[in-house]
Every structure is written in structure tokens, then in C-alpha cells.
Structure 1
Amino acid sequence: MTFTKTTEQDSKYNHLEKMTVKELLQNINNEDKTVPLAVEKSLPQIEALTKQIVNQLKKGGRLFYLGAGTSGRLGIVDASECPPTFGVPHELVVGLIAGGDYAIRKAVEFAEDSKSQGWLDLQEHTISNKDVVVGIAASGTTPYVISALEACNKKNIITGCITCNKNSPLAKVAQYPIEVVVGPEFVTGSSRMKAGTAQKLVLNMLSTTAMIQLGKVKGNKMVDMQLSNNKLVDRGEKMLVNALNIDKQKAAVLLEKYGSVRNAIENYKG
């Protein structure tokens, strides 16, 4: 099959500089509406990778996200939200970006072109065949990501990917590829837009579903969330009020004593 980068094809819109603010916003919004539908078409692929992630995490493995630029940053965002949201260790879900932590804020020239650094970055975390590595690249051609997944395959480490082009080199390397084809961007080639949104939606699905399967949600509540600010403490107290049929003052005492909603519920004597 031929490989065509739809993420690089010409925008369906032209003369953007002549549009009014209202027209720009409406047109961007119209394009954004197509993203969830593109994700829906990839649900079977998303399910296949999610099941692998759940299996490996249950065996004591970890989930790694690997990407460059926007893709790398999105992986880091998803990984960094898992500990406060689900109360898991920081090392359970790890986001790595080409160019290192400096690249989170500023672009590092040619970092994504390295064919060795991705595997070296994974080795720093003592990667093993208990883990899962998900490469993220809208283009599906990023050497940093592709070469890392190739090395993982050789070491019998489960690999997946999230890309926004069909039949890309990355998808051919990944054992469990996810291809969300969102089409040309509003600004030609600006894959931080629809492609980035699609990647974020898929990452939400992967991590949230995995954490629910690991028992980190009770009912529909984040009972293991870290109580790291007043908003979350207040949310935790309200959870206890509803779950245990107690007043807010008693909930506050329980939450302070036991440190989490789950512990408070499990230790409540009535």
C-alpha cells in the first residue's frame, strides 16, 4: 500500500488571512467536530492496545509513552495526570520526549531525527518485557519513535502507537497500531490541531480505561485521587458525605485521618 501523509495535505480552506475572527473560529470548530468521529472508527484498534496495557500493568509492568514535539508533550501530560487522578506511583505511567525535559517547553532542533536516542531514553528506566511502549507521532514517520519501537520488538516488549496517517512506517512497526485519520489540518500541516486533539482523546481512553480496569475507580468516583489541593479535598469530603451518609464535618475528620477516600470508606465503622 502507498503511504500518503494526509496530515500534510492542503487545508480545505484558503485565504485564511482574509477571514474574520468569527469565520476563523467557526471553521476551526467545524473541523474539530470531525475528530471524535475519526476516533470512533479506530475503536477496535484502541481496544486491542488497551487490553495489552491492562494485562501488562496487572502483571506489574509499566506504560511508557514516547514522542517528539506536540506528540511527546501530550504523552507527558497524560502520564503526569495519572498519579494525582488515580493515586498510582509516578513511575507506573512514564512520558518521554525527544530532546528530554527541556523539550517540554522549547523545541529541540533535530531531536526527533535521532535513531538511537529513543531506545537510550527507555533504557534509563530499565525497560523490560513486562512493560508496554506506545509511540506517539501524528506523521507516523518520526525516527526517534520508530527506532525505539523497533528495538522494543527485538526485546519482546509490547509496542503500540498512535498516529494520524494510514499505513505509516510507525504503524507497520507497532504490534498494536492505532490510526486515527483526521485529514488535512485547518492550517496546512499544523498537526498540533486536529491530530493533536485526536491523540489526546485516545490517550484519555487508554489511561482512564486501564486505571478503571485496575480498580482505581469506585462507582464513577476517583476514590484514590491525591488530595493535593483544596478543591480535591472538598471533592473527597463530598464523596464521603454521599457514600457514608455523614455530615461534612465528620467527612473532613475521616479524610484527614485516613488520607484517601477509599481508605476512609473502608475503615469507617459507622
Structure 2
Amino acid sequence: MEKITELPSLYNHLEKMSVMELVSNINKEDQKVAVAIQRVLPQIAKVVEMIELKLREGGRMFYLGAGSGGRLSVLDKVELPNTYGIEHGIFNCLLAGGEERLLEVLEAMEDSEEDAVRQLDLFEVSGSDFVLGISASGTTPYVLAGMKRCRELGIPCGCLVNNLDSPIAANCDYPIELILGPEFVTGSTRMKCGTAQKMIFDMISTSVLIRLGKVEDNKMVNVRLINNKVVDRSVRMLMEEAGLTDYEEAKQLILKYQNVRKALDYLKTIK
């Protein structure tokens, strides 16, 4: 396989560029990301459909990754319970070196095949779940070992990689092969590849949770009341959805029922 992610940058002598040249050229490269993602939307849709199916059946979703991609998956996972009111443990991350050591940047653990197998076994991942492997190169030993373990155990799995014909893609059921070309800084896959990973994680988790009824119209009706800003947003959502005109009345309902969805359900019972 050709490692496109390791090809030389299209730009030379970066150290001689002005600040405006640097930010303009990075922006030029970033603009390629959304166009490239558009080409793999059918593959992303298949992953979304499989995750939705598994969650409807009571299963779980697992990101499995290392390096920048693995850390970005943790960011996606931690925001979902508050944003959509889902229980912890529905979306999960298996990170090389362990999620609890996220800030230690244990890049050497990318090479640990045993750690991937250990973590899959520790979380008792099974055929009821779905695993998405994340590796820009498509060769990360930790992720590859995880995909092979999923195959052995009959666990449905997909991957997000940035090279064609990689061993990781060959060992999963639903590959997403997103080709972005060389990075601005040669080999620095925290740049375009990282941007694409974040966009696709957002796309997958948001689509799945909309499909599972966690959004009504275009509103986060299950958002948790984590701060005053969210309380105010929820009150205004309730007023709009239920046709209420008294802010304090709506706020009392929100505080009592703890989210817009439950407050709306209550209002339906008294009509």
C-alpha cells in the first residue's frame, strides 16, 4: 500500500513563510477536507446504520484508536450524555494506553497489540456491540489487533483510515477510506486527518442520536441542565414548543422535569 499520509508536503520552506502565508496555506488544505468527506458519505451512512441497529438492540458503540484520532474520539464521547441526555456507557472509547491516561500522550502504546485485546476483553465487547477503529495510516498495530480480535469474536466493526488498501481496512466489515493527500507539515496527521476525524465523529454520533429520537425538530430536547445557559435555552425551547408565554412558569416545569422532552410529555397529559 502507498502511505499517502507520509507523502511530502505540497509546500516547501515553511519556515520562510510569513504568518499570512502560513495561515492561508493551511486554510487551503483544510478546504479539501469537506470535499473528500463528501466522497465517502455512503460508507459513513453504512456505519451510522449499523450503530443505530446495535444501539436499538441494547448494544454499545466503541471507538478504538490511538494518538490524535483516539483522543478526538474521547472528546466526542464525553459530550454526548449532556447534549443528548443519554446514559454513560452507550458510547465508549478504547484508547491505546487507557482513556484514564489520556493526557500523558502515550504514543508508544500505539504499538501494543496486547493492549487492544486486553481492553476489548475488559469491556466484554461482544457481537451485540459495534467497534470503529481509528488510524490515519491504516497500519497502527493497536488498532489492527483490535480489528482482528473483533473478527475472531464476530463483533461488527468499521474503521476510519486515510490510506487505501490498508491492513486495518482489510480486517473490518465497514471501512471508511478517506483520502486527503499529504499534510501541510509532512506526516503530521493531527492536521487534515484530525480535522476530518472530528467532523466524521460529529456526523456519526449526531446522526445516530437523531435517529434514536434524542432530537425533536432541530432542538436538543433531552439536553441536561448543566448550567444556567442550558436552563435558559431549555426554558425558551419549552415555551416555543408548547406555546407558553410565561417564562417563570416554563422555568419551573423545566426545573421539575429536568429536560424539555419530559416537560412536554407532562403538558400533553393535562391538555
Counterpart position of 1:14: 12
Matched residue type, 1:255: I
Higher helix proportion (structure 1 or 2): 2
Distance 1:162 1:109 in 2: 19
Contact 1:75 1:96 in 2 (8 A): no
Taking structure 1 as reference, are residues 38 and 109 closer, same or farther at Cα in structure 2, changes over 3 Å only? closer
Distance 1:13 1:29 in 2: 13
Counterpart position of 1:249: 248
Counterpart position of 1:93: 91
Give the length in aligned residue pairs. 268
Query: Is the partner of 2:92 in helix, strand or coil?
Result: strand
Query: Is the partner of 1:220 in helix, strand or coil?
Result: coil
Distance 2:225 2:147 in 1: 36
Matched residue type, 2:222: D
Post-superposition CA distance 1:73-122 (Å, at most 9, x none): 01111111110111111100001210113542122142010112112112
Matched residue type, 2:28: N
Counterpart position of 1:186: 184
Matched residue type, 1:115: E
Taking structure 1 as reference, are residues 220 and 114 closer, same or farther at Cα in structure 2, changes over 3 Å only? same
Instruction: Using the aligned pairs only, state the percent identity.
Output: 46
Counterpart position of 2:164: 166
Post-superposition CA distance 1:133-162 (Å, at most 9, x none): 000011111111111111111111100001
Post-superposition CA distance 1:3-47 (Å, at most 9, x none): 111111000001101111111000000100000000000011111
Counterpart position of 1:122: 120
Counterpart position of 2:173: 175
Q: Which of 207, 222, 226 is residue 224 of structure 1 equivalent to?
A: 222
Matched residue type, 2:21: E
Matched residue type, 1:248: Y
Contact 2:93 2:99 in 1 (8 A): no
Offset of 1:165 from its aligned partner? 1.0
Structure 2: gaps (5+ residues):
none
Distance 2:99 2:125 in 1: 19
Distance 1:17 1:54 in 2: 47
Q: Could you state the TM-score of these two structures normalised by the residue count of structure 1?
A: 0.97
Structure 1: gaps (5+ residues):
none
Query: Is the partner of 1:34 in helix, strand or coil?
Result: helix
